[in-house]
Amino acid sequence: MYEALLFLHNLVRWFVLAFGLLALWRPGAKEGAFFAHALTLQVVLGILLAFVSPLFQGALASLEATLQTPSEARYFVAEHWVGGLVALGLAHAGLSQARKGKPRARLLFALALALVLLSIPWFRPLLRL
């Protein structure tokens, strides 16, 4: 189950990035919906992954020690998911603005995409097969 969720979470990342670029290029309601909903799926997969991940569960068992030292476990427990949730909020705010035809949708999509890019663990394999 863990490997399947990890594979899906990794795969959906590329759709999120592609739809984020599309929403940035053409900040309409349709493009924004693709981005926001792909990011929603990504966050849901990430939450499910946290429940079955041995790294995440091990880090939670010794949370105080995990948070005191910079490590891969600390990154996933304290930073990765927070960036994803904030990006999700920005993407849905951008979608709301795009549906109203307001120009600030592009800014919100750009902020969401930037946060997604900052939250991706680039030190991990880019494609898991």
Q: For residue range 58-87, what is the model confidence (pLDDT) as tens digits?
A: 777 777 777 777 778 778 888 888 999 999
| Amino acid at the residue 76 | F
Query: For residue 84, what pLDDT is reported?
Result: 94
Give the DSSP per-residue string, 88-122: HHHHHHHHHHHHTT-THHHHHHHHHHHHHHHHS-T
Render pLDDT for 10-66 as a digit per residue (tens, 0 to 9): 999 999 999 999 999 999 999 999 999 999 999 999 999 988 988 877 777 777 777
Question: pTM of the predicted model, to two decimals?
Answer: 0.88
Render pLDDT for 93-115 as a digit per residue (tens, 0 to 9): 999 999 999 999 999 999 999 99
